[in-house]
Amino acid sequence: MTNHLLARRLTRQEVTNHEHQQHAGQHRRTNVRPKRHRDYCEPGTEFTAPGPAERLEGAATALTAHGFSVEILDDATAARTRIKDLIPEGASVFTATSETLRLSGIEEDINSSGRYHAVKPRVLAMDRATGADDIRRLLASPAVAVGSVAALTETGSLVVASASGSQLPGHAGGAGRVIWIVGAQKVVADLSTALRRVEDHALRLESARAQIAYGQPSAVNRLLILNAEPYPGRGTVLLLCAAVEI
């Protein structure tokens, strides 16, 4: 889900605390990696546990057939290293609001390193009333857009959900190039399951974050489904074998 650019970014712990503030005796979450299963069958793991290797391979094959470039990497650390090779120094780069980017360190690398012309810090410094037109243009047409998705189907469709829609034009076609970092837990069987992941899982967690940040829940006001990439080399998916984010 996405973003109100001027709002404070919340940590995962703050979201967790908000969701469970009435349960003082709740146990701490552990960092134990969930077991792999051939199908999503255990309660509570349907949209959080990494899918089986064959599901990731099937998604990668379908994405490639649909015109996307795909690389299967071990984890977010590998993606953080790889993305430095994919984005040329000095390029204008917009990072969509994403826990995947934040937790991996990719967001900080792009927006704070000085290696790129980072769009987001520039937008945050602009007056949103007098500079509204310039903000829209900057967000819609960077040289490179970097983000994640709410779900990826095994049939090769990327699903991006948004409340404001600010990052969608770049993903859909405005950016010269787009790179999506996708954790293994986001790979689902088909589009109907992907939409259920958006509504039943991603929206719930994003709403908890938005309630703290903005005083109101989030919503799926915009939904982008990318079934194919018609321009060779424009869209790259870094598909991780490990789970990252929500």
- Per-residue pLDDT at 5 exceeds 50: no
Q: What is the pLDDT of residues 151-182, one digit of tens each?
A: 999 999 999 999 999 999 999 999 999 999 99
Contact 225/171 with Cβ under 8 angstroms? no
Q: What is the pLDDT of residue 244?
A: 84
> Domains, the chain, ranges and CATH?
41-240 (3.40.50.10420)
pTM for the model: 0.80
* 23 phi and psi angles, rounded to 5 deg: -115, 80
Mean pLDDT of the 218-239 span: 96
- Per-residue pLDDT at 26 exceeds 80: no
Q: What is the pLDDT of residues 46-99, one digit of tens each?
A: 799 888 889 999 999 999 999 999 999 999 999 999 999 999 999 999 999 888
Distance CA 135, CA 149 (A): 22
Please state, rounded to an integer, the average pLDDT across all residues of the chain.
Answer: 84
